[in-house]
């Protein structure tokens, strides 16, 4: 049985001839092979989004190889087998209100658990039901570890913040150099910047983030082997920083000797500036080696802050080259596609695009529902489905909005000793969630913009290139992105089927014009007033 599977994998690797296929195929395990009239093969995969990706890109090839070897029809089933040792979070220690409400009278810090259960259901049944719903929509992965120490010349830091890309299927990646060998260093680094709680366990997968999350797990499994560099871009509050920490924690779990470092760009600028001011050559070399040779996995957050900083870009260019040519993994996040970075060295932009570029977009409704279910359970707050759907329908821009609404609802429920039902949620959150401006759509913005500029609606959706049309169209794109939270591809479809890279350019162009062009500032403000913003 195992021999048949080994032969099939060998044929599959030969048939695909893709370096990107190896990390996926290596993580598939054979459970059993049932030999009857038709052959049934059961395969184990680590988590649901891994299963979905394999089904979309490799399942037909796997089935074809097995049928060629057995000369019979083959049915293939992918079974999610969770990692051993997984345990749900302890709500007693993860409740964010335990510390905030410490010292208040007991009757304000404890709410009967039954009040958090839907009507007609016991608290135990509600908790069991909610946990089951959440676990069905979340993924499992890795946990955190440690990294080697670096000197304290700059002081300890623990900063935390926040072209179209082809699909992984069929992507031919250049072979990456092997990482240089290093002696074992068991000393943990307390200043690696990683947040232990931000893991793949806590990252919920949906259509809007599946590519980025899948690539992130592949990088964590084999740093420096595939997708190097990995460039993740998207708006605020949708999981870029979380994925960086998850990669670092998962990679360290696989190899405790791995030197991992999470670095916000502001910290890199700080360190580089300090190094330039240090007069002692030995200390200066230590600071430089901290980035160039003292790390195996570098996680850089918010690289857009290097815009208009030429000297710091030069330094980062040398850091990038040193790590890349040594086979070390680089993961970068940004708020825009690499080609949209302004006042940025072309050689850096081209290097960012030489690996995999993955976009994170605002969460779709199903993902928002899953996030709300999971995070409400983590807070010890059991919400009825109608409350969850109410929040998901009114909060569409990012995950931080969802978390903020849950925190506010939970605080009011506990302090007021009230059950967080739909009526209570409306009374607490309705004044901000149900403003008329929340119902603004791309079409509404287009009509108001066309009216302000004296244009026809078809002008904004058409192909006219005259400045009198192009500027209003870009303003409408900017306001649509700002006030609807729609993704760039969605906005492109609303504006006559334009490419998402064109929409990205228009958005960032208006961002710049709002700082330099009084006419655009005035027009945007007037349109927002008409929209009720």
Asked whether residue 423 falls in the same domain as residue 458, the answer is no
Element (H, E) at 87: none
Is 249 a member of any domain? yes
Q: For 57, phi and psi rounded to 5 degrees?
A: -120, -25
Residues 349 and 466 in one domain: no
Interhelix angle 365-378/399-415, nearest 10 degrees: 40
In the predicted structure, residue 302 carries a pLDDT above the cut 70 = yes
What per-residue confidence (pLDDT) applies to 183? Answer: 45
At residue 39 the predicted structure's pLDDT band, cuts being 50, 70 and 90, is confident
What the block records as the tokens of 119 is 């009507």
Are 319 and 212 in the same domain? yes
400/467 same-domain check: no
| Residue 287 falls inside a structural domain | yes
* pLDDT at residue 48, rounded to an integer: 67
Q: Tell me what pLDDT residue 117 has.
A: 42
Regarding whether 219 and 274 lie in a shared domain, the answer is yes
DSSP for 266-281? HHHHHHHHHHHH---H
- Whether residue 44 contacts residue 31, with contact meaning beta carbons closer than 8 Å, is answered with yes
Residue 300 domain-assigned (yes or no): yes
CA-to-CA separations, 27 to 3, 519, 520, in angstroms, rounded = 17, 57, 53
pLDDT digits (tens, 9 = 90+) for 262-290: 999 988 998 888 888 877 777 777 777 88
Whether the CB-CB separation of 25 and 91 falls below 8 Å is answered with: no
- Give the bridge partners for 32, in sequence order: 42
Query: Is residue 114 one of the residues assigned to a domain?
Result: no
Q: Is residue 160 part of a domain?
A: no
Strands 29-35 and 39-45 come out as: antiparallel
CA atoms of 366 and 389, how far apart (whole Å) = 9
Is residue 313, in this structure, part of any structural domain at all?
A: yes
Residues 232 and 352 in one domain: yes
Last residue of a domain, one of 80, 99, 129: 80
The CA-atom distances, in angstroms, between 96 and each of 77, 101, 389 are 41, 9, 23
Name which residue leads in pLDDT, 421 or 109: 421
Q: Are residues 300 and 221 in the same domain?
A: yes
pLDDT, residue 278, reads 79
Q: What percent of the chain has pLDDT over 90?
A: 22
**Structurally, how many domains does the chain consist of?**
4
pTM of the model: 0.53
Dist. CA 449–CA 16, nearest whole Å: 50
Residue 256 belongs to domain with CATH number = 3.40.50.300
Q: Does residue 44 share a domain with residue 15?
A: yes
Please tell me whether the peptide bond between 229 and the residue prior to it is cis, using omega within 30 degrees of 0: yes
Task: Give residue 492's domain range.
Answer: 439-530
Name 338's Cβ contacts closer than 8 Å, sequence gap at least 6.
163, 231, 233, 349, 352, 353, 357
Between CA 348 and CA 318 the distance in angstroms is 10
pLDDT-derived band at 49 (thresholds 50, 70, 90) equals low
- Indicate which CATH number applies to the domain containing 453: 1.10.1750.10
CA–CA gap between residue 244 and residue 71 (Å, rounded): 45
Burial of 436 (0-12, 13-18, 19+ CB in 10 A): exposed
What span, in angstroms and rounded, lies between the C-alpha atoms of 332 and 303?
A: 7
Give tens-digit pLDDT for 145-157: 333 333 333 333 3
User: What's the whole-number average pLDDT of the chain?
Assistant: 76
Give the pLDDT band (50/70/90) at residue 297: very high
Domain boundary among 298, 326, 360: 360
Mean pLDDT (whole number) for 230-250: 92
Domain co-membership, 349 together with 390: no
Q: Does 319 map to a domain?
A: yes
Residues linked to residue 29 through DSSP beta bridges, in sequence order: 44
* Amino acid 68: pLDDT: 82
Please give the structure tokens belonging to residue 468. Answer: 């009198």
**What is the CA 317 to chain-centroid distance, rounded?**
25
**Higher per-residue pLDDT: 73 or 329:** 329
Residue whose C-alpha is closest to residue 477's, from 517, 440, 504: 504
Q: How many residues does the chain have?
A: 533
pLDDT at 303: 94
């Amino acid at each position: 049985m195992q021999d048949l599977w080994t032969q099939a994998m060998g044929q599959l690797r030969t048939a695909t001839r893709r370096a990107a296929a190896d990390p996926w195929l290596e993580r598939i395990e054979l459970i059993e092979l049932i030999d009857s009239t038709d052959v049934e093969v059961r395969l184990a995969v680590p988590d649901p989004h891994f299963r979905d990706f394999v089904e979309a890109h490799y399942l037909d090839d796997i089935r074809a190889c097995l049928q060629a070897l057995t000369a019979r029809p083959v049915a293939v089933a992918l079974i999610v087998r969770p990692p051993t040792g997984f345990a749900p979070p302890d709500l007693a220690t993860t409740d964010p209100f335990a510390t905030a409400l410490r010292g208040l009278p007991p009757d304000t810090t404890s709410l009967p658990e039954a009040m958090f259960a839907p009507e007609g259901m016991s608290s135990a049944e509600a908790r069991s039901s909610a946990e089951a719903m959440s676990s069905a929509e979340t993924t499992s992965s890795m946990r955190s570890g440690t990294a080697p120490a670096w000197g304290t010349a700059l002081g300890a830091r623990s900063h935390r913040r926040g072209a179209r890309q082809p699909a992984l299927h069929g992507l031919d990646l250049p072979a990456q150099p092997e990482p240089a060998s290093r002696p074992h260093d068991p000393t943990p680094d307390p200043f690696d910047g990683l947040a232990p709680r931000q893991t793949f366990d806590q990252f919920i997968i949906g259509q809007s983030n599946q590519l980025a999350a899948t690539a992130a797990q592949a990088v964590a499994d084999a740093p420096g082997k595939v997708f190097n560099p990995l460039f993740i871009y998207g708006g605020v509050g949708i999981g870029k920083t979380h994925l960086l920490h998850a990669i670092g924690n998962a990679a360290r779990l696989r190899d405790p000797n791995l030197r991992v470092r999470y670095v916000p760009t502001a910290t890199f600028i700080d360190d580089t500036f300090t190094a330039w001011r240090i007069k002692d050559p030995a200390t200066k070399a230590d600071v430089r080696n901290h980035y160039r040779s003292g790390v195996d996995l570098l996680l850089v957050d918010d690289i857009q802050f290097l815009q208009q900083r030429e000297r710091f870009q030069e330094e980062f260019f040398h850091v990038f080259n040193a790590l890349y040519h040594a086979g070390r993994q680089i993961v970068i996040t940004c708020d825009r596609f690499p080609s949209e970075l302004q006042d940025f060295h072309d050689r850096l932009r081209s290097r960012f695009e030489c690996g995999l570029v993955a976009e994170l977009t605002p969460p779709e409704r199903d993902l928002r529902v899953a996030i709300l279910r999971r995070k409400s359970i983590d807070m010890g707050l059991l919400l009825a489905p109608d409350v969850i759907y109410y929040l998901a329908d009114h909060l569409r821009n990012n995950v931080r909005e969802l978390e903020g609404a849950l925190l506010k609802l939970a605080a009011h429920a506990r302090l007021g000793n009230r059950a967080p039902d739909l009526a209570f949620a409306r009374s607490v959150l309705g004044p901000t969630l149900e403003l008329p401006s929340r119902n603004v759509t791309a079409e509404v913005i287009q009509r108001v913009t066309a009216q302000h500029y004296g244009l026809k609606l078809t002008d904004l959706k058409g192909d006219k290139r005259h400045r009198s049309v192009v500027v209003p169209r870009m303003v409408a794109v900017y306001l649509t992105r700002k006030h609807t939270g729609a993704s760039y591809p969605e906005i492109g479809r609303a504006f006559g089927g334009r490419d998402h890279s064109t929409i990205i350019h228009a958005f960032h162009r208006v961002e710049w014009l709002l700082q330099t062009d009084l006419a655009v500032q005035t027009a945007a403000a007037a349109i927002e007033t008409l929209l009720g913003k």
